[in-house]
């Protein structure tokens, strides 16, 4: 069964599947961060680029961060191509970060 990357909206490449903690583990109480409402499949390269950003921060900065990674990270060709495809896909793939955020009630947005 193919998995879709929660962050990019694209199919996760073979051998590149990771667990995305949408609200970062370091910024959330232990009893919340590994629940099924906070963990989603993601392609490793996009998950690394997202890093420790909260969902709303990621949505605001994701284009800039991926562009920066393409230009400045020492990415393998396949990872760079996946990042470019992600940028193209984001033209139509949009999510409301608050609707998926496990901390939305505590956020104040």
Per-residue pLDDT of 34-80, as tens digits, reads 899 999 999 999 999 999 999 999 999 999 999 999 999 999 999 99
Give the bridge partners for 21, in sequence order.
Answer: 39
pLDDT at 67: 98
Q: What confidence tier does 108 reach under pLDDT thresholds 50, 70, 90?
A: low
Instruction: Answer for the pair 98, 56: CB distance below 8 angstroms, yes or no.
Output: yes
Query: Which two tokens mark 52?
Result: 């420790």
pTM for the model stands at 0.91
CA–CA dist 64, 70 (Å, integer): 10
CB-CB neighbours of 44 under 10 Å: 18
Instruction: Answer for the pair 2, 11: CB distance below 8 angstroms, yes or no.
Output: yes
pLDDT at 94: 86
CA–CA dist 15, 7 (Å, integer): 17
Query: Cβ-count burial of 43 within 10 angstroms (0-12 exposed, 13-18 middle, 19+ buried)?
Result: buried
């Amino acid at each position: 069964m193919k998995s879709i990357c929660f962050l990019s909206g694209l199919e996760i490449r073979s051998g590149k599947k990771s667990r995305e903690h949408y609200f970062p583990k370091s910024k959330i109480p232990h009893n919340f961060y590994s629940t099924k409402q906070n963990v989603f499949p993601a392609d490793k390269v996009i998950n690394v680029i997202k890093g420790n950003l909260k969902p709303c921060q990621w949505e605001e900065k994701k284009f800039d961060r991926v562009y920066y990674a393409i230009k400045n990270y020492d990415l393998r060709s396949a990872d760079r191509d996946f990042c470019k495809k992600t940028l193209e896909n984001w033209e139509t793939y949009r999510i409301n970060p608050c609707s998926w955020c496990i901390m939305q009630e505590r956020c104040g947005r």
